[in-house]
Chains A and B, each alone.
Chain A
Amino acid sequence: MADTTLDAKGLNCPLPILRAKKALKEMASGQVLAIEATDPGSAKDFESFCTQTGNELIKASEAGGVFYYEIRKP
């Protein structure tokens, strides 16, 4: 279950990443951020974002053109 949810639908690169970063900044260690996005590029971008920042991508899925991610703050 996510602690915070970010609606990034309709936003294009790099806005989903920038908004996610901002949301994570407000969150405590161990909390989970859920993100909904429609930018197809976000799939690879959130993977790369997590690899480089030490955040954990615990879920990534897609349904009907909406991408859903869960990221845990280290």
Chain B
Amino acid sequence: MAQKKLAIIATKGTLDFAYPPLILATTAAALDYEVTIFWTFYGLQVLKKNRSLKISPLGNPAMPMPIPMPVLVQALPGMESMATIMMKQKMVSKGVASIDELMDMAIESDVKMIACQMTVDLFDFKHEELMDGLEYAGAARFFEVAQEADITLFI
């Protein structure tokens, strides 16, 4: 049987949204899929060598809060950092992998990473700021991958 293939487009760069592409990619690799993730727009933040991903309660009314918090309070300086620290602590206590760990496991299991060159230019990112071993390409390259894939996800 031919190897199954998964293609993911990852467009988001907050701590919470860095999880779905990496969880699905590592799990699919464990299920013997050949996996490619095309990182574009804010997703590029996840590829940074020194990534510091944050979570924001602002504009995110579904985020469970320890105590009810008015939107104006959520907008105060330092709230984003606090929410990020609390979320990371919660993840450690629940045995949830960190993004660094998941990224390492993805690389270890040969998940192919493509960075969108257009958004790299748009945000003035340097290739040196991003992880080694990335391929830089555009939309046409994604379709080359996607047309071979059994599953394609946009996240």
Measured CA separation A11–B91 after assembly (Å): 10
B64 CB to nearest chain A CB (Å)? 16
Interface presence of B132 (CB below 8 A) = no
Interface presence of B77 (CB below 8 A) = no
Measured CA separation A15–B32 after assembly (Å): 16
Q: How many A-B residue pairs have CB under 8 A?
A: 32
Are the C-beta atoms of B30 and A12 separated by less than 8 Å?
no
A residues 15-74 touching B (CB-CB < 8 Å) = 15, 17-18, 20-21, 38-39, 49, 52-53
Query: Interface residues of B toward A: which range?
Result: 10 to 19
B97 CB contacts on chain A under 8 angstroms: 11-12, 14-15
Measured CA separation A52–B95 after assembly (Å): 25
Are the C-beta atoms of B95 and A14 separated by less than 8 Å?
no
Are the C-beta atoms of A18 and B27 separated by less than 8 Å?
yes
A8 CB to nearest chain B CB (Å)? 9
Query: Interface residues of A toward B: which range?
Result: 10 to 19
A5 CB to nearest chain B CB (Å)? 18
Are the C-beta atoms of B32 and A53 separated by less than 8 Å?
yes
Interface presence of B11 (CB below 8 A) = no
Interface presence of A2 (CB below 8 A) = no
B32 CB contacts on chain A under 8 angstroms: 52-53
Are the C-beta atoms of B26 and A12 separated by less than 8 Å?
no
- A residues engaging B (CB < 8 A)? 10-15, 17-18, 20-21, 38-39, 49, 52-53
- B residues engaging A (CB < 8 A)? 23, 26-27, 30-32, 94-97, 105
